[in-house]
Amino acid sequence: MSYIFQYGIDHLTVGTALDICTGRIKAELGKESTVKVLASEAAVAKIVADNRTVYGVNTGFGILANTSISEEDTRTLQYKILQSHSVGVGDPISPELSKLMLITKVHALARGYSGVQLSTLQRLCWHIDNNVIPVVPEKGSVGASGDLAPLSHLCLPLIGLGEVYLHGRRVPTAEAHLEYGIEPVMLGPKEGLALINGTQFILAHAVKAVERLLNCLDAADIIGAMSLEALTGTKAPFDARLHSLRPFVGNSLVAQRLRLLLENSAIMQSHIDCGRVQDPYSLRCMPQVHGASRNAWLHLKELTETELNSVTDNPIVFDADYTVSGGNFHGQPLALPLDYNCFAAAEIGNISDRRCYLLLEGKWGLPLLLMNNVGLNSGFMIPQYTTAALVTENKTLCFPASADSIPTSLGQEDHVSMGSISGRKLNRVIDNLEYILGIELMSASQAIEFRRPLRSSPILEFAHEHVRKHVGFANEDRIFARDIDMLTAIIRDGSLVKNVRNFASGSGIKLNEGFENFQL
């Protein structure tokens, strides 16, 4: 852990944010960011001393922006905004997402344009470093004045209120303060507003979705290649010359990956002259379908990293003489790509379900329902019911939340992004996608064994052996839910993709060579 990330100074990527969250990288407030924060804090103090009217410093909020607040009440105002805006409902988001919210909030505030006290920022860093993570409800943000409700809950512990996760338990903040011997922070002018204005709830969901969807995209290529092998499909549609004629970057990457995954396969060689003219689209068009989803993913990653290094609160304090009340808190720049990545993730599940169906038809030398003794046994018929159900559920989640807007704050905030819902929906779609891919992996692994004694490529045989460490071949019906859970787990935790990538690399094969932007 020799590298130390400097909040507010260094460029924050999705991968770095995740590494800070897991403790693989240490982050701190460096000297340069400390100087900027102190200067911004002094600028706000001067604004108050000069009795100049600045939104959120000595005025009310939202529709109450024209209501003046006396100098002696400016601190009380900041406490009240945290209390009044803590209206989140529903189950809490995961501690990981809450921690990502803290990390991204600190990075934005440390840029030195928010007027917060250094001591407040140091307390937020303390929460990260000591893994004392605020409890944040999942619902209540419209994603426009920033994520007001979730950020209010995130920052309640600063003033001794709300709840935190302490040693894995959910406890009142006061209990954590007592254990560590610390006192609540005394908020200064503008701090409450700076803390709750911003897109960090949307952003944390985007960071996690970028990580999870990339893993699913990589897994889908591996699993799709296994299904193609089991169905004695051809690799001709993955020819690099073909894809150079329609050079979408995601398509080209998937075609390359499939070529490499299928390289030196005895199964592939065994049916070169079989006379089959074309494969079904779910096999033949993997580069176009998987690739389109990769193109959408790449755009989301790029926009997420722009947001990771942005200042999204309001007003922005450039210096004591120049503040701007703008709209950097509006979640629309992430709401749109989060929504269409719902489509991107759902389509990977859709095409995976079609491959599951193909494996069951009893064509091209495979037994009906992937089992020799069907009738008494249902074989692999019913797992495909589950993929069909999950695919349909994902379709219902594809309605874009960002297509809607309901005015708030008595019309002052008359267009909102609903990006918080977009981020939550995308992660729910990915939950379902992981199960769908787990079922295809189970089915493809079963089907490949009917090609014995022929062997697939070294990479796909390694993937098959990895599956068999967790789930065995099925000679007759059993409780397949257990198998589905086991295989979904090795997709969800990234171990399938990681182990296959490491095996390929150890064999001198770089699946993503030339496409390095498709990584975290």
Q: What is the pLDDT of residues 78-108, one digit of tens each?
A: 888 899 999 999 999 999 999 999 999 999 9
Q: Rounded distance, CA 134 to CA 151, Å?
A: 10
Let me know whether 50 and 173 are in one domain.
yes
Domain match, 372 and 502 both: yes
Give the model's pLDDT for residue 59. 66
* 330 within domain boundaries: no
Choosing from 7, 55, 165, 435, the catalytic residue is: 55
293 lies in the same domain as 168: no
As a whole number, the mean pLDDT across the chain is 94
Annotated catalytic residue 180: no
For residue 177, the enclosing domain spans 4-198
Report whether pLDDT(58) > 70: no
Decide which of 198, 221, 238 is a domain's last residue: 198
| Same domain flag for 189 and 259 | no
- Asked whether 184 and 159 are in contact (CB, 8 A), the reply is yes
Residues 350 and 399 in one domain: yes
Domain assignment present for 338: no
Residue 130 lies in a domain: yes
Residues 353 and 457 in one domain: yes
Q: What is the average pLDDT across 301-314?
A: 96
20 lies in some domain: yes
Q: Which pLDDT does position 449 carry in this prediction?
A: 98
Evaluate whether residue 245 is within a structural domain.
Answer: yes
Of 198, 214, 237, which residue constitutes the final position of a domain? Answer: 198
- Return the pLDDT at 243: 98
The CATH code of the domain that includes 129 is 1.10.275.10
The CATH code of the domain that includes 357 is: 1.20.200.10
Confirm if 50 and 74 have CB atoms less than 8 A apart.
Answer: no
pLDDT (average), residues 141-166:
95
pLDDT at 61: 59
Beta carbons within 10 angstroms of residue 403's beta carbon: 11
Q: Is the pLDDT of residue 459 over 80?
A: yes
Please say which residue of 166, 183, 198 terminates a domain.
198
> At 275, is the pLDDT very low, low, confident or very high (cuts 50, 70, 90)?
confident
In this structure, the answer to whether residues 193 and 209 fall within a common structural domain is no
48 with 155, same domain?
yes
Q: Answer yes or no: do 99 and 114 share one domain.
A: yes
pLDDT for 62: 60
Question: For the stretch 488-497, what's the b/e string if a residue is b when 16 or more beta carbons lie within 10 angstroms of its beta carbon?
Answer: bebbbebebb
Confidence of residue 27 (pLDDT cuts 50, 70, 90): very high
Q: How far apart are CA 244 and CA 188, in angstroms?
A: 59
| Residue 409: pLDDT band with limits 50, 70, 90 | confident
Reported for 173-177, long-range contacts at CB under 8 A and 24+ positions apart, including other chains, are 173/134, 176/132
Number of structural domains the chain divides into: 2
Does 239 share its domain with 163?
no
Looking at the DSSP bridge assignments, the partners of residue 169 are 166
Q: How far apart are CA 24 and CA 381, in angstroms?
A: 43
Quick: pLDDT tens for 248-273. 999 999 999 999 999 999 999 999 87
User: How far is residue 488 from each of residues 32, 71, 402, 436, 503, measured CA to CA in Å?
Assistant: 45, 57, 30, 8, 20
**Looking at the structure, do residues 224 and 89 belong to the same domain, yes or no?**
no
Altogether, the residues listed in the chain come to a count of 520
pLDDT at 60 over 80: no
Bigger pLDDT: 323 vs 16: 16
Q: Residue 250 domain-assigned?
A: yes
Residue 328 falls within a domain, yes or no?
no
In this structure, the answer to whether residues 263 and 171 fall within a common structural domain is no
Identify whether 217 is part of a domain: yes
